[in-house]
Structure 1
Amino acid sequence: MEWFKKKMRVFLFVCLLFPFYSYAAKISLSISGKIEEHSAMLYFPDGRELPISIDASGKGELVVDVTEPVYVALGYHYISRTLLLTPDTDIQISFENKKIGERVAITGTGSQVNIYLNNGRLKAAEIDDMALGEKAFFLKMDSILNVNLQELDHAGLSEEINEMEKIRLKYFTCATLPSYPYFHMRIAKDSTYEASLEYWSKLQELMVMDASLLRYDEFRSFLVEAVSRVARKQYPESKSLDAVVRYVESEVKEPSIAEFLINKNVYAYVERYGLDSADAYCAVFDRYVKSPLLVKNFETLCNRWRKLSVGALSPNFNCTDLSGKKVSLSDFKEKYVYIDIWATWCGPCQREIPHLQKLEEKYHGKDIYFVSISCDKNRKVWENRVRAGLKGIQLHFVNGDTFMNDYMIKGIPRFILLDKEGKIISVDMSRPSDPKTIAKLDELLN
């Protein structure tokens, strides 16, 4: 028994020296109204994405390991909310689906800072502000930042979070600074404008190569665009991505910042354009990016593109026509297929329609189908547009179809060309208005 008592005394002494802490943040979601999706997503600065499953009643919960304050983005259906999680966060977030962008209720431990982050009172310089001359625009940003800092003072947050917020607000407020020259020329209709030395000095002053700032999404977004602007100025003879790579190689000494910039830019390039002519960029990626998570994500992206290589069998689509009849890619056999992904709300899509109709007339009776597929959420709007005068093969995606995801379509219009066996000729075919399209179709059909 004496032996046991000694052991217990030692155990209690150790507990006093090294207390057991629970480093976990808890988020509970409650969605009323129509449940559009059965999961929300939590996005972390390091690239992690954690899903929050939502049940049939609209409830969801997630416990996350958190050892220090961290900003995350909560995404659900087209809406994103900024949250700050700490080791003792235990918040409940509820919203009505139809008003998700207007009113969100946040309660529980840690609600104070998250209500402040999402109260809609924090402002940033807007696109219209870029009509102002440089000095007036700089003063406008300073004024907005001061108002935001006053809002922060009124929030009554802890000193630690206050200091974090001051940094975040600086980049939040100045988000449009990197794009000022581009938009000022267009909005102010001043084709003679050239950014001053003061502008470039102010921009580079904010381009702090400090890895600790990567915790702020606002800093990351700012840095990507700012580096792009400065790199293109410094290396005007290079293509955009080549200029960024050269800038990182010559100017960025902090490994974590270099890794972030290369990952962000090369990933975006491959996501948009695929692996064709991307060998040099992939080599740069391998040289700079060492994070296992980022490497895994990039390899996953590359594998998706490999499935879309020339000669690969195209993913299928499931659609309905105007009458409601189900139609899939397998219904278009023994002819080439030129696919147009579009929507009624898309201006560039609408401008391509007359050119597409001319192609249909030019190649009428030839071995090619021209298939237009709408991704409109509202089928009725699409039906009305078709009945208003659209001809040819007009289809609408069935809810849940994965064709756009399979082809990694991030923007429309998008055109795809398949051969007579349903194999890929081009995953990003030229538009109907582009002379290259007729040249390619003539080559195939004549």
Structure 2
Amino acid sequence: MKHLIHTLAAAALLASACQPAPAPTTVHLQGQLVDMGTTDVPMRYDGAASLVGDSRDIILHTDAEGRFDTVLTLTEPTYYSISRNTLYLTPGDDLTLRITQDNRQAEFTGQGASVNTYMKGRLFPKGGSFLEGGSNLRPDFAGTKALVDSLAAVRRAQLDTLTGATDAFKRLEGARITADVANSFLSYPSYAAMRGYLQMTPESLDSVYATLKPDLVPLLRTLTDDELLDVAVVRDVLGSLATPYTPALEAIAGEVTLSPRARELYAAAGQVNRLRHRVDEAQLQAARAFADSLTHTDFADELRAKLDQAARLLKGQPAIDFSFTDTEGKAHRLSDFRGKVLYLDFWATWCGPCIQESPHFEKLATRFKDADVVFIPISTDTGREVWLSYLKAHDKQLPQYNSTDEALRTGWSIHYIPRFVLIDRDFNIADAYAPRPSQPEAEEALQGLLGN
């Protein structure tokens, strides 16, 4: 009997030893985030559903020098972004990093370092991918295409020889390269017009896109698998097919079949985009009904979160408080100005339309200088020194403020600038999407809030 017990115990131990280890469900991240403008740094979820909402974003809490050490729950490989840096995190990663706002300066060590070092070379869709903001443009498309194809070949060779990368990662990043090529071709007409190589007219655009069609269609057809929607530039180029803005693009879109998931994604993103420009009860009701019709729960969940956010911006809702600092570094809160009519100007030093509105904002402030209203310009620059340097070179009459408070994004839904907001004397929202100061409606709105 004793021999049988020992045998059973040994068999149990052997069976236990043969069991596969449970799959990891966490990622350990530590290191330093430099010049982020805040100690609470957002790490943005960058998968497909990020086109609809941001509920999966993570805030990394750092010390005064940007250092942090945290463990994240993660059950599958996921793209995130910190400033201009794109990360690919896999359960089980143990990564030490040093990141600045320049992705080329990023440093990685530890488990997961090789793929994230590779990601430093990720191109930016808004810069035309391989066109690099137009710097790689050639006078004709044939020359531009030859350069783009050669740069893509270099990038593919880097990916093919990358060690420590899974087949799944290489498939996603291979699709990114293909989408970057397609994006370069799609961006060619606008950059060529900027350089004077062609005229920016509907006819000339259609002519160029018609010429590009044989090159574009085969590329785009390889990008329609649903899992590739987790790659940002894939979403960008397929999005141009979901809402084509020229007949030639419409003809290209007609030869590329988007999946039901992709079509639902772009339709949900369209609902969110409308919410970012105006909010009223009728719009919210229509968007709620649309969210209820969605078959993909990740998109529906993100849209509902955006609906909740938008509802807080309706006229009459309490103003959402947030913090900002003046040029001396003194901290303020919006609620410090409670009791007066407030007109907020959200802007940044790099925003051309913002700069154009600034003189109108100051002129309007002069016109209302004896009224019970406070004009508050708030820079959203993440680099405080850049903001201060700009102010030294540009004389301003109004007190100037800077904010990197996450409440601007999560509360006020500041996803584009310039953006203007009106708040009444009771610290309630009068208009979360107020007229620009260059518009006559701005003065009319202020007079209405003052009871004039």
- TM-score category by the smaller chain? 0.7 to 0.9
Q: Residue 191 in 1 paired to residue 200 in 2?
A: yes
Closer/same/farther in 2, CA of residues 33 and 46 from structure 1, 3 Å limit = closer
Closer/same/farther in 2, CA of residues 278 and 252 from structure 1, 3 Å limit = farther
Q: How far 1:235 sits from its partner (Å)?
A: 7.6
- Residues 47 and 230 of structure 2 are in contact (CA less than 8 Å); yes or no, is this contact kept in structure 1? yes
Q: How many angstroms apart in 2 are the aligned matches of 1:5 and 1:343?
A: 74
Q: How many angstroms apart in 2 are the aligned matches of 1:65 and 1:259?
A: 25
Q: Residue 148 in 1 paired to residue 134 in 2?
A: no
1:201-280 matches, within 5 Å, as 201-205=214-218, 206-207=220-221, 208-229=223-244, 254-274=259-279, 277=283, 279-280=285-286
Q: How many angstroms apart in 1 are the aligned matches of 2:161 and 2:172?
A: 15
TM-score, scaled relative to structure 1: 0.75
SS class of match (2:184): coil
- For each residue in 1:104-157, what CA deviation from the matched residue of structure 2 results, as whole angstroms up to 9, or x when unmatched? 433334544443333679982333145643343333332222222233344356
Higher relative contact order (CA 8 A, sep 6+): 2
SS class of match (1:178): helix
- 1:60 is matched with 69
Q: How far 1:309 sits from its partner (Å)?
A: 0.7
- 2:97 is matched with 94
- 2:416 is matched with 411
Q: Residue 181 in 1 paired to residue 189 in 2?
A: yes
- 1:290 is matched with 296
- Residues 131 and 187 of structure 1 are in contact (CA less than 8 Å); yes or no, is this contact kept in structure 2? no
Q: How many angstroms apart in 2 are the aligned matches of 1:38 and 1:325?
A: 18
Gaps of 5+ in 2: 50-55
SS class of match (1:118): helix
Matched AA of 2:268: N
Q: How many angstroms apart in 2 are the aligned matches of 1:268 and 1:303?
A: 15
- 2:52 is matched with none
Q: How many angstroms apart in 2 are the aligned matches of 1:344 and 1:42?
A: 23
Q: How far 1:54 sits from its partner (Å)?
A: 5.1
SS class of match (2:179): helix
Q: How many angstroms apart in 2 are the aligned matches of 1:20 and 1:383?
A: 55
- 2:428 is matched with 423
- 1:302 is matched with 307
Q: How many angstroms apart in 2 are the aligned matches of 1:279 and 1:232?
A: 33
- 1:434 is matched with 439
1:356-435 matches, within 5 Å, as 356-376=361-381, 377-378=383-384, 382=388, 385=391, 389-391=395-397, 393-397=398-402, 400=405, 402=407, 405-435=410-440
- For each residue in 1:17-58, what CA deviation from the matched residue of structure 2 results, as whole angstroms up to 9, or x when unmatched? 863453456444222878953566373636544566657893
SS class of match (2:130): coil
SS class of match (1:150): helix
- Residues 343 and 420 of structure 2 are in contact (CA less than 8 Å); yes or no, is this contact kept in structure 1? yes
- 2:53 is matched with none
Closer/same/farther in 2, CA of residues 332 and 169 from structure 1, 3 Å limit = closer
- Shifted more, 164-173 versus 379-388: the winner is 379-388
Percent identity between the two aligned chains: 20
SS class of match (1:373): strand
- 1:244 is matched with none
- Residues 313 and 424 of structure 1 are in contact (CA less than 8 Å); yes or no, is this contact kept in structure 2? yes
Q: How many residues align?
A: 426
Closer/same/farther in 2, CA of residues 172 and 431 from structure 1, 3 Å limit = same
- Residues 210 and 257 of structure 1 are in contact (CA less than 8 Å); yes or no, is this contact kept in structure 2? no
Matched AA of 1:394: P
Q: How far 1:433 sits from its partner (Å)?
A: 1.3
Closer/same/farther in 2, CA of residues 90 and 320 from structure 1, 3 Å limit = closer
Matched AA of 2:23: S
